[in-house]
Amino acid sequence: MSADFDLYQISEEHQMLRETVRSLAEAKIAPFAADVDEHARFPQEALDALTAAELHAVHVPEEFGGVGADALATVLVIEEVARVCVSSSLIPAVNKLGSLPVVLSGSEELKRKYLSPLAAGEGMFSYCLSEPDAGSDAAGMKTRAVRDGDFWVLNGVKRWITNAGVSEYYTVMAVTDPEKRSKGISAFVVEKGDEGVSFGAPEKKLGIKGSPTREVYFDNVRIPADRMIGAEGTGFATAMKTLDHTRITIAAQALGVAQGALDYAKGYVQERKQFGKAIAEFQGIQFMLADMAMKLEAARQLTYAAAAKSQRVDSDLTFFGAAAKCFASDVAMEITTDAVQLLGGYGYTRDYPLERMMRDAKITQIYEGTNQVQRIVMARNLP
Question: Is the Cα torsion angle 171, 198, 112, 50 positive or negative in sign?
Answer: negative
| Confidence bin at 1 (pLDDT 50/70/90) | very low
User: Is the CB of residue 369 less than 8 Å from the CB of residue 247?
Assistant: yes
Q: What is the pTM of this model?
A: 0.96
Q: Looking at residue 7, what is its pLDDT?
A: 56
CA distance 91 to 319: 25
| pLDDT at residue 4 tops 60 | no
Predicted confidence band of residue 207 (pLDDT cuts 50, 70, 90) = very high
Please report which confidence band the pLDDT of residue 240 belongs to, taking 50, 70 and 90 as the band edges. Answer: very high
Q: Which domains does the chain have, with CATH numbers?
A: 12-119 (1.10.540.10), 125-235 (2.40.110.10), 240-380 (1.20.140.10)
Taking a C-beta distance cutoff of 8 angstroms, is the pair 104, 242 a contact?
A: yes
Residue-wise pLDDT for 72-95, tens only, equals: 999 999 999 999 999 999 999 999
Read off the pLDDT of residues 340-366 as tens digits, 9 standing for 90 and up: 999 999 999 999 999 999 999 999 999
The average confidence (pLDDT) of the chain is: 96
Q: What is the pLDDT of residue 383?
A: 86
| Structural contact between residues 190 and 154, judged by C-beta atoms closer than 8 angstroms | yes
pLDDT band, very low/low/confident/very high, at 10 (cuts 50, 70, 90):
confident
Tens of pLDDT, residue by residue over 95-135, are 999 999 999 999 999 999 999 999 999 999 999 999 999 98
Strand, coil or helix: what is 235? helix
Q: What is the DSSP string of 237-288?
A: HHHHHHHHHHHHHHHHHHHHHHHHHHHHHHHHHHH-EETTEEGGGSHHHHHH
Q: Which of 79, 80, 215, 368 is catalytic?
A: 368
278-337 tens-digit pLDDT: 999 999 999 999 999 999 999 999 999 999 999 999 999 999 999 999 999 999 999 999
> Does 368 qualify as catalytic in the annotation?
yes
